[in-house]
A and B are shown apart, each in its own frame.
Chain A
């Protein structure tokens, strides 16, 4: 299963990548990273990932808009929203627009893996 990581923070991007590497989930393969919504759309068209981790607050195009566009491109894509506690309302927006999972920042390794597994299992 192909995974794309969308987050404007390099630290979060590499953290997710490291968790994925440590967890040795053979089913998940990272196909790319995007730092904003626009990059995410281009990367998505090029790599066709089935799973996306999505930050909400990003420059240029935010997570809600990006989620909407990605779902329009592929209605089967599984999107995991990763947001701060204060972003509750935005997270609800993203879920309404097609995302199916979410995770609060800060998160532990296990929390991220569980959230991804739950998303894939559905």
Chain B
């Protein structure tokens, strides 16, 4: 028995099972992170772009403030005034414009709107660079013309005029360039923003696709694994519904598990449900002693200290007799045998459950019991043989004869028992007398088995005698007991017969006489034929004189006997049913005898108590066989009909079997009688007898004489 090991059922590891999903989720996260990074990067460049746009816008304003400051200084100068504020303004706006323009060209830090330094990246856009380059070309000379105005308080007219003239000529161009720069930067930013939007949109779509894929895969896997679980569960259920044995698990608290085979309730004859305690169910089935032992045994099994292989042979429930109220047909107490087997279900060296297998082994146990009973009988037979070998042969033969006839009478009495039910007491007394004699004789020889049988029979009869009315079943039981005795007797007879032959052959006694040998052969033949024909026939032989005549004659007589015995059984003796209907004894009789008259004439007589030879019946049989024409048959006289019996090939049988039907028997008899030079006479009376008498004297002519009864 194998240890049920739950570890042996391999489940795929969690990592393996969910690998696909894990990879998909990782990819999803990585993708989202990269989209996020790209977004972040693009947004940060957009921040920088905003600064650039802002500052390029400021450049436009600065260019105009420069012109305004210059114009104010010129107006003041024309009036001979000097305002330091204007010079400071010019200084501030030109330096801001210059530093910003330079930073656009090469990158650098400039003061922002809130007077905090901001980093301006070098321009990368070619259109913007071109605008800046053109602006620088205009600005450099402009800056040189403006520089003396910022440094000196005394402004000479020429310098001022040169600056204002340059400003007037180039201001619009510079403004336009700064405006272009702003527009270019704004457009570039817009392009970037829409790129970012595109990336975001694509990213979102891709991530949605990925997510959908993950969800779909996960669902598919889940469905597949759910399907597997369902299938496994279905299979388990199918097994549990089909299996003939009671199967269930019990936990360490001895409670029945949630799944069990459907046959369990039938096997245990107890409704079983999940989590039901097992021991009370067992308690109802077995004795207190076995129950206690079983409880210890199950405790030990859960203990896991003693090896399972050792535990197996200690199982007190291996084969246990249970006497339970049949819950299907209540109040039907039946003895059954159950076999409980327990297997540990081990996980991590811990006994989680016991798998209990319950089988109804009543049939096996009953068979085993019958087998051992048969073995017992075999020893009885050996004992019987020993007794027979010890007994005196003559005495045994006598016992055999007496007992057989006694049993035959008993059989007859019982067969007619129903006719005499009014006189049961007498019948019982009669039976008792016979059986008691048998018992006594059996005891005298020491045949215990027969004595026991007879005794049981007697006891049964005594019990019956006490009753007023016999039940049909009780009367029926008597022939059953009788048949057991008859069987035993036939065994004894066989043994005694073998002993007799053995006795004769070893004692060196005379070889079998002719008469005995002929008798044995005829008996054997009669037994065989009557068995084949299903008839009950007994031979009555008086052949002692055969020992005193010449062997040729005796041999010929044996041949005749064989034919006539066979014919007598096949055609003469009726079946038992017919015989009983005619009021004849059930058993037919064929008597053969050899006598010699004082004049020295030998008479060989074969007589059966069968249906006789009836010409009208032969006629009908001849016609119905289809072998003879009706007209021809009806023209024959009775004497001719009887003569027909001795014609070669004459038969009324439709088919030939081992015993009769070939139409040679009587022909053979006729020819032998011819050889012996004898005379054959047939006497017959319908439904009573047929007698063949052979009168054998030398030179006697064969003459067939029909008696008056025939005609």
On whether the beta carbons of B316 and A92 are closer than 8 Å, the reply is yes
CB-CB under 8 A for A104 and B306, given A92-B293, A92-B296, A96-B296? no
In the complex, the answer to whether A95 meets B306 with C-beta atoms within 8 Å is yes
| B299, B300, B305 pick with most chain A CB within 10 angstroms | B305
Quick check: A96 and B314 within 8 Å, CB to CB? no
In chain B, positions 265-318 with a C-beta closer than 8 Å to chain A are: 289, 292-293, 296-297, 299-300, 305-307, 310, 313-314, 316
Q: What is the CA–CA distance of A100 and B300 in the complex, to the nearest angstrom?
A: 10
Instruction: Give A28-83 interface residues, CB cut-off 8 Å to B.
Output: none
Which of B289, B299, B300, B306 is within 8 Å of A101, CB to CB?
Answer: B306
A92:B300 contact, CB within 8 angstroms:
yes
Cβ of A105 under 8 Å from chain B: no
Most chain B beta carbons < 10 A, residue from A95, A100, A104, A118: A95
Query: Per a CB cutoff under 8 Å, which of B292, B299, B305, B314 touches A91?
Result: B314
Whether A104 touches B313, Cβ cut-off 8 Å, given contacts A88-B293, A96-B296, is yes
B310 touches A101 (CB 8 A): yes
Instruction: Provide the residues of chain A in CB contact with B306, threshold 8 Å.
Output: 95, 100-102
Complex contacts, A102 vs chain B, CB 8 Å? 306, 310, 314
Least CB distance, A103 to chain B, in whole angstroms: 9
0/1 string, A91-122, CB within 8 A of B gives 1: 11101100011101000000000000010000
A89 at the interface (CB under 8 A from B): yes
Residues of B within 8 A of A92 (CB): 293, 296-297, 300, 314, 316
Q: How many A residues face the partner with a CB closer than 8 A?
A: 12
**Closest Cβ neighbor of A85 among chain B residues:** B313
Residue from A88, A100, A118 in contact with B314 in the complex, judged by beta carbons closer than 8 Å: A88
* A residues in contact with B300, CB < 8 Å: 92, 95-96
Chain B contact residues (Cβ within 8 angstroms of A): what range? 10 to 19
Q: Tell me whether A100 and B293 are in contact (CB under 8 A).
A: no
Within 8 Å CB of A88, what residues of B?
A: 293, 314, 316
Q: How far is the CB of B344 from chain A (nearest CB, A)?
A: 15
* Chain A residues within 8 Å of B305, by CB: 95, 100
Q: Which chain B residue shows the least CB distance to A96?
A: B296
Chain B: minimal CB distance from A17 (Å):
24
List B contacts of A101 (CB < 8 A). Answer: 306-307, 310
CA distance A103 to B306 in the complex (A): 12
What is the CA–CA distance of A60 and B293 in the complex, to the nearest angstrom? 24
The answer to whether A96 touches B299, judged by C-beta atoms less than 8 angstroms apart, is yes
Residues in B neighbouring A89, C-beta threshold 8 A: 289, 292-293, 296, 316
* CA A88 to CA B320, docked complex, whole Å: 13
Which residues of A lie under 8 Å from residue B316 when comparing CB positions? 88-89, 92
Task: Decide if A93 touches B314 in the complex (CB within 8 Å).
Answer: no
- With A and B bound together, what is the CA distance between A88 and B306 in angstroms? 15
The answer on a CB contact under 8 Å between B296 and A118 is no
Question: In the complex, what residue of chain A is closest to B297 when comparing beta carbons?
Answer: A92
A92 to chain B, nearest CB (A): 5
Kindly provide the distance from the CB of A69 to the nearest chain B CB, expressed in whole angstroms: 18
Which residue on B lies nearest to A87, using beta carbons?
B314
Closest A residue, CB atoms, query B293: A89
How far, in angstroms, from A3 to B305 measured CA to CA in the complex?
Answer: 21
| Other contacts beyond A88-B293, A91-B314, A102-B310: 10, CB < 8 A | A88-B316, A89-B292, A89-B293, A92-B314, A95-B305, A95-B306, A95-B314, A96-B299, A100-B306, A101-B310
Instruction: Please list the residues of chain B having a beta carbon within 8 angstroms of any beta carbon in chain A.
Output: 289, 292-293, 296-297, 299-300, 305-307, 310, 313-314, 316
Interchain Cβ contacts under 8 Å between A and B, 10 examples? A88-B293, A89-B292, A89-B293, A91-B314, A92-B300, A96-B299, A100-B306, A101-B306, A102-B306, A104-B313
